[in-house]
Structure formats: structure tokens, C-alpha cells
A and B are shown apart, each in its own frame.
Chain A
Amino acid sequence: MSFEEIYTRYVDTVYRFLKFKLEDEHLVEDVLQETFLAVYQNLHKIAEVNSPKAWILAIARNKLVDHLRKKRLVEVELAEGLEADPGPDHLFIRQLLSHLDDTARTILYGLYVEELTCSELAEILGIPVGTVKSKAHAARSVLQHKLKEESV
């Protein structure tokens, strides 16, 4: 697979993921660029990976963490991503997700938006599959509870 094919296929996935994590459009663009530059530089490895999507998202997550660590903005930016005005369509799900920690939010995002498997999420987050499953289950319980509260 050429770099152009990879870029065309996964640019929306990476952009969406970064936009979910960050509100600052400039920062999203910077990290998007760094991610695909790293993909380009490691293109020879793609044939060896089980899931190119998980591999690219893991790179994006690492680049995001590096970028924010450099700027010492981790907590501010991640919180901003949830608190800034995201428009009416996004508002409800963002409010709902604000009840969860960052890892749980990423797991649910991966499962419900990117349709990733628990194994792929484990690869992206660098945690065991069992932890992904148990965190997903706990997060679902929290959301179920919140949705019930809302409907009462």
C-alpha cells in the first residue's frame, strides 16, 4: 500500500480522533501532520502490523501525548476538548462522556465511532485486552445509569 493510499484511507480517522481529544484546530492539524510524517517514515513496518488502523491511531495518540507534554497542556487541552462549545449535535454525548476518565472515553470512542475491537484498543492504549474490556463494561454501566437518570 502506498503512502497516498494510506493517507486517503486513514486521514479522516486520525483527524476525528484528534478532534475528539482536542478543540484547538491548529493543534489538531499539527499533530495530524506529525502523525502522517511518522507513518511515512515507518511505512516499511505496515506490512507487519495486524491492524493498520490501530497502528496509525497508536502513533497519533503517542504524538498527541508528546505534543501536549511539550506544551505542558495535557489536562487543560483534554478538558477543553470536552468543555468547549461543540455544537448541539455533539453536546449531549460530550456531556455524557464527561462522567468518565480519559481512558474510558477513548475506549468508548474507539468501540462506537471507529468500530475498533478490544484488541485494537489495547494496542492503541498500551494496556491489556482484559483491562479494555473491564473498563468498557464499567463505562457502559456509568452511561446506562446516566441515561436512566435523564429519562426519569
Chain B
Amino acid sequence: MTRQEMHELALAYLQQRLTIEEKLEVFRLIMENDDFLQVLSFELALLRRFAPLKTVAPAGVRERVQEKIIVVVQNPKKVIAERVIHQVLRGTMPQIAWAVYQPWQRRVFAYE
């Protein structure tokens, strides 16, 4: 078994994605192979390091996006018109005015 295969097996074991036969192979390797034990320990350490990235979407974002999709699906002409206006304003407004306009516009459309 190559080192790469050991990493893949160890990670699959820790993420509980193995068949019974594969689990038995892991148990055998844990008992007999010091290299595999090191690999397993490294994979566990990496999983712990990545754990803080397992976030969820804030409820506000979740609901707002779903509502916007419903609006787009139900009223596509209105959305196209808004996009055209958006592009025109973006092209013509000074940079500083655009920076003020954008957050305002997001709030207005979010609570429309």
C-alpha cells in the first residue's frame, strides 16, 4: 500500500465511509503498521484543523436569497429591468456615489 493510499484509507475511516471489510483492514493496519498509525494521527489532526470552517449560512442570508430567487422566477421582466438600471447607474455614477448607492439599494430590495 502506498503512502497516498494510506492517507485516503485513513481519512475515509475517520469520516466513516468504509465497508466492514475495509474497516477490518484498517484495524489490522493499526495493529501492525506504525506508518499507518502516523498517517491516521495526521489525518485526525487535519480534520480537527479544518473543523472551524464547517459553518452554516446565517438565517437572514438563507431567507433573503430564497426570497430573491422566488422574485426572479415569478417576475423575470422586473428583474431584467432592475439589472439594466443597475448597469446604467454603475457605468455613469461617480465611484464614491456608487459606494453609497450600492448598500442602500441592497437594503431597499431586501425589504421590498
Contact = CB atoms under 8 A, between A and B. Distances in A.
Nearest to B62: A11
Interface string A100-135: 000000001101110100100000000000000110
B16 to A, nearest CB: 9
A108 B50 CA distance: 9
A119 B47 CA distance: 20
B36 to A, nearest CB: 15
A84 interface: no
Chain A interface residue count: which class? 35 or more
A41 to B, nearest CB: 9
A109 B53 contact: yes
23 contacts: A11-B62, A11-B65, A12-B57, A16-B53, A16-B57, A26-B102, A26-B106, A28-B61, A29-B64, A33-B65, A36-B65, A40-B69, A90-B53, A112-B11, A115-B15, A115-B17, A133-B4, A136-B4, A137-B7, A140-B42, A140-B46, A143-B46, A147-B45
Interface of A: 7, 11-12, 15-16, 19-20, 25-26, 28-29, 32-33, 36-37, 40, 89-90, 92-93, 96, 108-109, 111-113, 115, 118, 133-134, 136-137, 140, 143-144, 147
